[in-house]
Amino acid sequence: TLANNNMSEGGFVGMLKRDIVRNQLMGAVSGSVHVPKVLSDLFYAFRFERRVADILVAEADAMPAPAQPKESELAEFHQANARLFTSPETRSIQVLHLTLDNLSGETKPTDAEIEEEYRVRVDEFSVPEKRIVLQMLLDDEAKARAASDQLSKGADFAKVAKAAAGMDDQAILLGRIEKRDLPVELADAVFALNKDGISPPIKSSMGWHILKVTSITPSEGKPLSEVKTQIAKELAKESAGKALSTLSAQIVDEVAGGARIEEAAQKFNIKLLRLGPLDSKGNDLAGKPVKNLPDAVRLLELAFTTPEGADSNVIELDDGILGVRVEKVTPAALKPLGEVMNIVKTEWTNNMRRKTADERAAKALERLKGGASFGAVSQEFGLKIKSTAPFTRDAPASEAGLPAKLIAAVFKLKPGESAMANTPEGAMVARLGKIVPAAADSADNRIEISQALEQGMAGDLLDQFTNALADRYGVKKHTQAIKNYFSPS
Q: Phi/psi of residue 67, each to 5°?
A: -65, 155
Q: What is the mean pLDDT of residues 172-194?
A: 94
Instruction: Report the range of poorest mean pLDDT among 121-130, 197-206, 290-299.
Output: 121-130
Report the sign of the C-alpha dihedral through residues 401, 406, 412, 414, in that order: negative
Q: What is the mean pLDDT of residues 41-47?
A: 88
Instruction: Report the range of poorest mean pLDDT among 44-53, 275-284, 473-482.
Output: 473-482
Q: What is the mean pLDDT of residues 394-399?
A: 92
> Is residue 209 over pLDDT 80?
yes
pLDDT for residue 149? 96
> Is residue 286 over pLDDT 60?
yes
> Is residue 9 over pLDDT 80?
no
Cα angle 344-345-347, degrees, rounded to a multiple of 5: 65
Q: What is the DSSP string of 472-486?
A: HH-----HHHHHHHH
- Do 88 and 237 touch, CB atoms closer than 8 A? no
Nearest-angstrom CA–CA distance, 319 and 241 = 8
Angle of the 9-30 helix axis to the 443-473 helix axis, nearest 10: 120
> Is residue 6 over pLDDT 70?
no
Nearest-angstrom CA–CA distance, 332 and 327 = 16
Mean residue pLDDT of the chain comes to 89
Q: What is the DSSP string of 161-227?
A: HHHHH---HHHHEEEEE-GGGS-HHHHHHHTTSPTT-BPPPEEETTEEEEEEEEEEE--EE--HHHH
> Is residue 426 over pLDDT 90?
yes
pLDDT for residue 297? 94
- Do 96 and 340 touch, CB atoms closer than 8 A? no
Nearest-angstrom CA–CA distance, 113 and 224 = 12
Q: What is the pLDDT of residues 222-247, one digit of tens each?
A: 888 888 989 988 888 888 778 778 88
Nearest-angstrom CA–CA distance, 409 and 395 = 13
**Which CATH architecture does the domain made up of 50-70+347-436 adopt?**
Roll (3.10)
451 or 143, which is more confident: 143
Nearest-angstrom CA–CA distance, 322 and 303 = 11
- Do 100 and 241 touch, CB atoms closer than 8 A? yes
Amino acid present at 418: S
Helix (H) or strand (E) holding 296: helix 296-303
> Is residue 28 over pLDDT 70?
yes
Nearest-angstrom CA–CA distance, 32 and 129 = 67
> Is residue 432 over pLDDT 60?
yes
> Is residue 105 over pLDDT 80?
no
455 or 1, which is more confident: 455
Percentage of the chain exceeding pLDDT 90: 59
> Is residue 488 over pLDDT 60?
no
Would 90-104+229-331 and 129-218 be classified into the same CATH topology?
Answer: yes
Burial class (CB in 10 A: 0-12, 13-18, 19+), 211: buried
Amino acid present at 39: L
Q: What is the pLDDT of residues 262-276, one digit of tens each?
A: 998 888 888 899 999
Burial class (CB in 10 A: 0-12, 13-18, 19+), 371: exposed
pLDDT band at 134 (very low <50, low <70, confident <90, very high): very high
pLDDT for residue 351? 96
Assigned CATH for 129-218: 3.10.50.40
- Do 457 and 31 touch, CB atoms closer than 8 A? no
pLDDT for residue 5? 63
Nearest-angstrom CA–CA distance, 361 and 334 = 34
pLDDT for residue 269? 85
CATH class of the region 90-104+229-331: alpha beta
> Is residue 152 over pLDDT 80?
yes
Q: What is the DSSP string of 228-251?
A: HHHHHHHHHHHHHHHHHHHHHHHH
Q: What is the pLDDT of residues 338-382, one digit of tens each?
A: 999 999 999 999 999 999 999 999 999 999 999 999 999 999 999
Q: What is the mean pLDDT of residues 300-310?
A: 96
Angle of the 157-165 helix axis to the 141-152 helix axis, nearest 10: 160
pLDDT band at 153 (very low <50, low <70, confident <90, very high): very high
Q: What is the mean pLDDT of residues 77-104?
A: 90
β-bridge partners, 384: 57
Q: What is the mean pLDDT of residues 123-135?
A: 90
The domains of the chain are located at: 3-34+456-486, 50-70+347-436, 90-104+229-331, 129-218
